[in-house]
C-alpha cells in the first residue's frame, strides 16, 4: 500500500547547486544539496543573469542571516497583448506591475499568530521558448520564516493576467513549484489578493497552521454569497436550475419549462444571476453574457480554444449562412445522389465579406469550408466519413444495424431481454393496451425455429432497444409540431454464436389520439419488396429515436449535464491544496464553458437540437424524464452499467469478476480495460493519502463535498437509496473512478465517433419527418409508396438544412484539438512533485499505452466479427491517444468539446 507523503521541516540550510538534468518545468535549472561538510560561509556566492535565449537560471545567495529566494512567474500572453496602455508599460519598466507576498506555512511559535508576509515586486524579465512572458522577483527570507506555503498575488496592471505557474528557487527544501493555471484580475477590478498554494497536497487535518485561515478563506471566496449577477471576471461557483433555455420575452413559442425541481427533475448548473424574464419570472433572461467562473473559460491562446472556437464559428456563422443558402427549410433530398454531392461538390454558402473574417473561417474550419480559386466562391464540402469510404452501402445492411448497437455511436442502450411477453408500464387508460404486438410465434419464426423464446431468454440470446415507454407520452405532442413525427418503439435482436446481432422485429406504437384508437405495428425483414421497404422505413424511425436518445441522454445528460454539479461542488468544498481536488481537476477542464455554449445555441429553445431532432421543442424535457426514471449515480460506473442492462454478470471466476453476456462487445471489452487502468490509478492515488478508513471519515472537506453533490447538485435525487456511502478509501475510490470515467471514457465513447457514424446521415437520421405509409394511409399516399418507395424514404429523412447543419456540428464535435489533453499522457505538475504519485502515474500511463496495442490486436482478430470484416470500420473509440482532427479514437481527460 502506498504511504502518504510526509512533509518535514529541516533545521539546517543546505547549499544548492545545479543538477546535470533539470526536473522542473520550463527552462529553469533544478538544484540539489551539496554533500560537503564545508561551512556555509565558505560557499561562494552564485550569480547569474538572463541570457538572450532566456534560459533562466536561478541564483541563491546564502548568508548566516537570510536566504535570497528568486521567484519566476510564467504568464501566458492574452489576445491583444499582455498589458494595455502606456501606464502598464511604465509599471513594467519600473518593476511595479506584479506584487508577490510569500506566506509562511508556520505560525509564529512565540505569538501563535501568522508570520508577516515577505513582499516583493516582480519585473518583466523576458520570454521563454513557448512565448510565455517571464516575471522575476527576489526575496530576502530569514531562517525563522520557515517553509513557504503559499503566495499572495496582486496584479497592478489594468488588465487581467493568466498566471501559468510560479517557481521559487532557494528555499531550504529546494525549488518549490506553484501551479496556478488561473486568471488574476487587476486590483482596479478586484481588490482581493489572489491566493496560490504550493503543490504540496494536504488533507484538512494536515494543513500547516500558517495556512489554515487562507485555506478556509479561499473556499469562501469561491462560494460567494449567492446574490447578484455574476460578472465575467468572477470566480464564484454556485448552483441554479435550468431556467435559461427559453426566451419567453421574445416569443411565447420559445418559452420552455424550468428543468430542476419536482415537476421536471434535473441536475443543477452554474448560477449566473441574470435577471428574470418579464413574461415569466421563473425563467432567467438571456440578454446578457452566459457566465462561467473565469478559470473555467477557454484559454485565449489559439490552440487552446481551437475546438470551442470552431464550434462557436459553426453555430454562429456557418449555420446562419446555410439557412441563407437553403431558403426552403422543408426541402428534402430528391435523390440519394444529391446526398453524395455533399461530399464531392458541396453547398455554396455566403461567406463573410471582409478578407479578415473569410481568412478566419478558412483557418478555423479547414475541413468544412473550401475555397474555389477559379470562381472565388466558398463552399461547404464535407469529408467522406470512414464508414462510407470503406463501404458505400454500410448503412443499408441489417447486420451493420445490429453491430452498431455494440460498436457504434450509442453502445449504452442495448439491453438483455429477461421477461416475456414484453409489456408497457404506462397507464393503459391513457396509452392503450400495454401488451407488445411482438409475439412469441413471430420471434420463433424469425429465428427459424431453432429454439423457443423461453430458451432464447434462458440462453441470453434476445436483446432490445426499448424506447417505447420513454417516447410514447410525447407522440401526440410531437406530432403537433411541423416537420416531425414520433412513435414509441421497440427493436428486438437475436444473438448468434458468433456474437453478431440480427435485428428480428421493430414495433412502432401510436397512442390513442385524435379520436383514433391505439395503433401498433410490427415490421420484420422480408424478401418481398413491400415489406422490405416498410422495414427500411421502420429502421429509419428507430434510428431517429436512437439518435435522439444518444444525443439527449447518453451524451448530453449523462456526461455534460451530470458532471457540472461535480465541478461546482469540487471548487466550493475541496481546497485547491486538497489531493482529491488535484486529482479531479484535469477531468473538469473546459466542461462548464462548453456546457454554457451548448445552452446558448445547441440545447436552447429553437436551437440546433430542437430544429434537427425528432422530439423538437420537447427534447430537453424528454431528457428530464430520462433523468427522473433511469439515472442513478452507482450505475454510471461502467461495470454496474453493463450489469444493470444485462450485458454482463458478476462472475468471481472471471478475470475482473465480471463476465460479458456477449463476449465480442467492443465498447464493453475495451471500456472495461480502460476502466480497470483508471481505477488502479485512482486506487494508488487515494491510498497514498488515505491509508485507513478513519482518514476518510475525518476529512470534513470531503464529507461536505459528497453531501453537496448528492443534496444540492443532484437535489432532485437526494433521497434515493442507491447513493454510495462515503466512509472508507474503497468507497472514495469507487466514487472518484465513476466521476473520472464519465468525463473521460464514457464521453469519448459517445462523442468522438459522431461524424464517423452520423456524417452520412441515412445511417443515423436525427429526425423522421413523416409517419409510416401503412398508418391510416390515404389512397394517394399509399399509391406513392408503391410506385416510388425511395421517394417516401427520402421524404422521411431530414431536410437539406437539417442534414447539413447536423453534419457540420458532428464534424466539429468529433474533432480533437491540437492541444487535447489525453488520459494518462501528460502528468500534472502537482503529481510529478510527489515521487510516489509520480510513479503511480507512470504505471497508469504505461497501462494505457499497452491498451493501445491490445485494441489493435483485437481489431486484427478475424474471429471477432463485430470488429473485423469487409468494409468494416474497426472499433477504436477507447484507444487512449490520438492525433488532432476527426480520428475516431482518443480519450481526453475531460468533456472539453
Residue range 37-93, pLDDT digits in tens = 333 333 333 333 333 333 333 344 444 578 889 999 999 876 544 444 444 554 555
Task: State how far the alpha carbon of 604 is from the alpha carbons of 166, 252, 544, 549, 613, in Å.
Answer: 41, 14, 20, 17, 13
**pLDDT, tens digit, for every residue of 434-455?**
999 999 999 999 998 899 999 9
- Report d(CA 574, CA 588) in Å as an integer: 14
Residue 751 falls in the annotated catalytic set: yes
Nearest in space to 574 (alpha carbons), one of 701, 733, 729, 718: 701
Q: Which residue in the list 464, 801, 809, 897 is annotated as catalytic?
A: 897
User: Helices 306-313 and 355-364: crossing angle, nearest 10°?
Assistant: 120
- Report d(CA 165, CA 176) in Å as an integer: 11
pLDDT at 379: 77
Q: Residue 286 — very low, low, confident or very high, per pLDDT cuts 50/70/90? A: confident
Q: Is the pLDDT of residue 333 over 70?
A: yes
For residue 566, give the C-alpha cell: 461535480
Q: Where are the alpha helices (DSSP H) in 635-727?
A: 638-644, 666-689, 693-697, 700-708
pLDDT at 654: 87
User: Helices 619-630 and 529-549: crossing angle, nearest 10°?
Assistant: 80
In the sheet that 67-76 helps form, which strands lie side by side, from edge to edge? 176-184, 161-169, 67-76, 133-141, 118-127, 98-104, 148-155, 194-197
- Report d(CA 616, CA 492) in Å as an integer: 26
Across 193-220, average pLDDT:
96
Q: Is the pLDDT of residue 698 over 90?
A: yes
- Report d(CA 754, CA 551) in Å as an integer: 10
Q: State phi, psi for 591 to the nearest 5 degrees.
A: -65, -45
For residue 237, give the C-alpha cell: 461557483
Q: Residue 131 — very low, low, confident or very high, per pLDDT cuts 50/70/90? A: confident
pLDDT at 22: 31
**pLDDT, tens digit, for every residue of 291-316?**
999 999 865 543 444 455 566 667 66
Residue 897 falls in the annotated catalytic set: yes
Contacts 24+ apart (CB under 8 A), 831-837: 831/582, 833/177, 833/199, 833/200, 834/5, 834/201, 834/688, 836/2, 836/3, 836/5, 836/688, 837/684, 837/685, 837/688
Q: Is the pLDDT of residue 765 over 90?
A: yes
Q: Is the pLDDT of residue 28 over 70?
A: no
pLDDT at 93: 55
**pLDDT, tens digit, for every residue of 800-849?**
999 999 998 998 899 888 888 999 999 999 999 999 999 999 999 999 99
Q: Is the pLDDT of residue 229 over 50?
A: yes
Task: Name the strand (E) or helix (H) holding 537.
Answer: helix 529-549
Q: Is the pLDDT of residue 377 over 70?
A: no
Q: Residue 12 — very low, low, confident or very high, per pLDDT cuts 50/70/90? A: very low
pLDDT at 585: 96
- Report d(CA 38, CA 298) in Å as an integer: 51
- Report d(CA 646, CA 51) in Å as an integer: 65
**pLDDT, tens digit, for every residue of 478-514?**
999 999 999 999 999 999 998 999 999 999 999 999 9
Q: Where are the domains positioned within the chain? A: 67-201, 391-551+768-798
Domain 67-201 listed as CATH 2.60.60.20: yes
Residue 580 falls in the annotated catalytic set: no
Q: Residue 13 — very low, low, confident or very high, per pLDDT cuts 50/70/90? A: very low
Q: Regarding predicted confidence, which is higher, 762 or 27? A: 762
- Report d(CA 504, CA 492) in Å as an integer: 6
Q: Is the pLDDT of residue 19 over 50?
A: no
Across 207-235, average pLDDT:
95
Q: Which residue in the list 132, 550, 747, 816 is annotated as catalytic?
A: 747
Q: Which residue in the list 132, 541, 545, 555 is annotated as catalytic?
A: 555
- Report d(CA 845, CA 13) in Å as an integer: 37
Q: Residue 475 — very low, low, confident or very high, per pLDDT cuts 50/70/90? A: very high
Q: Is the pLDDT of residue 459 over 50?
A: yes
Q: Which residue in the list 560, 635, 688, 714 is annotated as catalytic?
A: 560
pLDDT at 818: 82
% helix, strand, coil for the chain, step of 5: 40, 15, 45
The CATH number given to 391-551+768-798 is 3.10.450.60
Farthest CA pair distance, the chain: 106
- Report d(CA 796, CA 788) in Å as an integer: 13
Across 678-702, average pLDDT:
96
Across 643-661, average pLDDT:
94
Q: Which residue in the list 595, 751, 859, 866 is annotated as catalytic?
A: 751
Q: In a 3-state reduction of DSSP, which class is residue 341?
A: helix
Residue 550 falls in the annotated catalytic set: no
Q: Is the pLDDT of residue 246 over 60?
A: yes
Neighbour count for residue 839 (Cβ, 10 Å): 12
For residue 850, give the C-alpha cell: 499497452
Q: Is the pLDDT of residue 470 over 80?
A: yes
Averaged pLDDT of the chain: 87
Residue 859 falls in the annotated catalytic set: no
Q: Residue 33 — very low, low, confident or very high, per pLDDT cuts 50/70/90? A: very low
Amino acid at each position: 500500500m502506498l504511504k502518504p507523503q510526509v512533509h518535514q521541516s529541516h533545521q539546517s540550510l543546505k547549499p544548492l547547486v545545479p543538477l546535470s538534468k533539470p526536473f522542473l518545468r520550463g527552462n529553469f535549472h533544478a538544484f540539489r544539496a551539496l554533500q560537503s561538510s564545508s561551512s556555509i560561509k565558505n560557499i561562494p556566492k552564485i550569480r547569474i543573469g538572463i541570457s538572450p535565449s532566456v534560459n533562466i537560471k536561478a541564483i541563491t545567495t546564502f548568508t548566516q542571516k537570510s536566504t535570497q529566494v528568486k521567484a519566476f512567474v510564467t504568464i501566458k500572453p492574452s489576445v491583444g497583448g499582455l498589458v494595455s496602455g502606456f501606464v502598464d508599460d511604465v509599471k513594467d519598466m519600473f518593476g511595479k506591475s506584479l506584487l508577490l507576498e510569500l506566506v509562511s506555512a508556520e505560525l509564529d511559535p512565540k505569538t501563535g499568530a501568522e508570520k508577516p508576509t515577505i513582499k516583493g515586486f516582480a519585473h518583466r524579465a523576458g520570454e521563454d521558448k513557448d512565448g510565455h512572458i517571464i516575471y522575476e522577483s527576489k526575496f530576502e527570507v530569514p531562517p525563522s520564516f520557515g517553509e513557504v506555503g503559499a503566495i499572495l498575488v496582486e496584479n497592478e496592471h489594468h488588465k487581467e493576467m493568466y498566471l501559468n505557474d510560479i517557481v521559487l528557487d532557494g528555499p531550504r527544501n529546494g525549488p518549490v513549484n506553484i501551479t496556478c493555471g488561473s486568471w488574476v484580475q487587476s486590483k482596479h477590478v478586484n481588490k482581493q489578493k489572489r491566493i496560490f498554494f504550493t503543490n504540496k497536497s494536504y488533507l484538512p487535518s494536515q494543513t500547516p497552521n500558517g495556512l489554515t485561515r487562507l485555506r478556509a478563506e479561499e473556499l469562501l471566496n469561491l462560494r460567494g454569497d449567492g446574490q447578484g449577477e455574476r460578472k465575467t471576471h468572477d470566480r464564484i461557483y454556485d448552483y441554479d436550475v435550468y431556467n435559461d433555455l427559453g426566451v419567453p420575452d421574445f416569443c411565447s413559442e420559445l418559452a420552455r419549462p424550468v428543468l430542476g425541481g419536482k415537476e421536471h427533475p434535473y441536475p443543477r448548473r452554474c448560477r449566473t444571476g441574470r435577471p428574470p424574464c418579464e413574461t415569466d419570472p421563473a425563467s432567467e433572461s438571456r440578454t446578457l453574457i452566459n457566465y462561467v467562473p473565469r478559470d473555467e473559460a477557454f484559454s485565449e491562446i489559439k490552440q487552446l480554444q481551437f475546438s470551442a472556437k470552431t464550434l462557436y464559428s459553426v453555430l454562429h456563422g456557418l449555420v446562419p449562412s446555410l439557412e441563407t443558402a437553403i431558403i426552403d427549410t422543408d426541402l428534402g433530398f430528391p435523390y440519394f445522389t444529391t446526398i453524395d454531392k455533399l461530399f464531392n461538390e458541396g453547398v455554396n454558402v455566403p461567406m463573410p465579406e471582409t478578407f479578415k473574417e473569410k481568412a478566419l473561417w478558412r483557418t478555423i474550419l479547414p475541413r468544412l469550408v473550401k475555397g474555389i480559386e477559379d470562381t472565388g466562391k466558398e463552399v461547404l464540402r464535407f469529408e467522406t466519413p470512414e464508414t462510407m469510404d470503406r463501404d458505400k452501402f454500410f448503412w443499408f445492411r441489417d447486420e451493420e444495424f445490429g453491430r452498431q448497437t455494440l460498436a457504434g455511436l450509442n453502445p449504452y442502450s442495448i439491453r438483455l431481454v429477461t421477461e416475456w411477453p414484453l409489456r408497457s408500464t404506462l397507464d393503459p387508460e391513457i396509452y392503450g393496451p400495454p401488451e407488445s404486438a411482438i409475439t412469441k410465434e413471430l420471434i420463433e419464426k424469425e429465428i427459424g425455429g431453432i429454439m423457443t423464446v423461453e430458451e432464447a431468454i434462458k440462453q441470453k440470446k434476445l436483446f432490445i432497444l426499448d424506447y417505447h415507454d420513454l417516447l410514447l407520452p410525447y407522440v401526440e405532442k410531437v406530432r403537433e409540431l411541423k416537420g416531425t413525427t414520433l412513435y414509441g418503439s421497440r427493436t428486438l435482436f437475436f444473438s448468434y454464436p458468433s456474437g453478431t446481432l440480427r435485428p428480428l422485429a421493430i414495433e412502432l406504437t401510436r397512442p390513442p389520439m385524435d379520436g383514433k384508437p391505439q395503433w401498433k405495428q410490427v415490421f420484420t425483414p422480408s424478401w418481398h419488396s413491400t415489406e422490405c421497404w416498410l422495414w427500411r422505413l421502420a429502421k429509419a424511425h428507430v434510428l431517429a429515436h436512437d439518435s435522439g436518445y444518444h444525443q439527449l441522454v447518453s451524451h448530453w445528460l449523462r456526461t455534460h449535464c451530470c458532471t457540472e454539479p461535480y465541478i461546482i461542488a469540487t471548487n466550493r468544498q475541496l481546497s485547491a491544496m486538497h489531493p482529491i481536488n488535484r486529482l479531479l481537476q484535469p477531468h473538469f477542464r473546459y466542461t462548464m464553458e462548453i456546457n454554457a455554449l451548448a445552452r446558448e445555441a445547441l440545447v436552447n429553445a429553437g436551437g440546433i437540437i430542437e430544429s434537427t431532432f425528432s422530439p423538437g421543442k420537447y427534447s430537453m424535457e424528454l431528457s428530464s424524464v430520462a433523468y427522473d426514471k433511469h439515472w442513478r449515480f452507482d450505475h454510471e460506473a461502467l461495470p454496474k452499467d453493463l450489469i444493470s442492462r444485462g450485458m454482463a454478470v458478476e462472475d468471481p471466476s472471471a478475470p475482473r469478476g465480471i463476465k460479458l453476456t456477449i463476449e465480442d462487445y467492443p465498447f464493453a471489452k475495451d471500456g472495461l480495460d480502460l476502466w480497470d487502468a483508471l481505477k488502479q490509478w485512482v486506487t494508488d492515488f487515494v491510498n497514498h493519502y488515505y491509508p485507513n478508513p478513519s482518514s476518510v471519515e475525518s476529512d470534513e472537506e470531503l464529507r461536505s463535498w459528497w453531501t453537496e453533490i448528492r443534496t444540492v447538485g443532484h437535489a432532485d435525487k437526494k433521497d434515493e437509496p442507491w447513493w454510495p456511502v462515503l466512509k472508507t478509501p474503497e468507497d472514495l475510490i469507487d466514487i472518484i473512478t465513476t466521476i473520472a470515467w464519465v468525463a473521460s471514457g464514457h464521453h469519448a465513447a459517445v462523442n468522438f465517433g459522431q461524424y464517423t457514424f452520423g456524417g452520412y446521415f441515412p445511417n443515423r437520421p436525427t429526425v423522421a419527418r413523416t409517419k409510416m405509409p401503412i398508418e391510416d394511409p390515404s389512397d394517394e399516399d399509399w399509391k406513392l409508396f408503391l410506385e416510388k418507395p425511395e421517394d417516401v424514404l427520402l421524404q422521411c429523412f431530414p431536410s437539406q438544412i437539417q442534414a447539413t447543419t447536423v453534419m457540420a456540428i458532428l464534424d466539429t464535435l468529433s474533432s480533437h484539438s491540437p492541444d487535447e489533453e489525453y488520459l494518462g499522457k501528460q502528468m500534472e505538475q502537482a503529481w510529478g512533485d510527489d515521487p510516489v504519485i509520480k510513479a503511480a502515474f507512470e504505471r497508469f500511463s504505461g497501462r494505457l499505452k499497452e491498451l493501445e496495442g491490445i485494441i489493435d490486436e483485437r481489431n486484427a482478430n478475424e474471429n471477432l466479427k463485430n470488429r473485423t470484416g469487409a468494409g468494416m470500420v474497426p472499433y477504436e473509440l477507447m484507444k487512449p491517444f490520438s492525433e488532432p482532427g476527426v480520428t475516431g479514437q482518443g480519450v481526453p481527460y475531460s468533456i472539453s468539446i
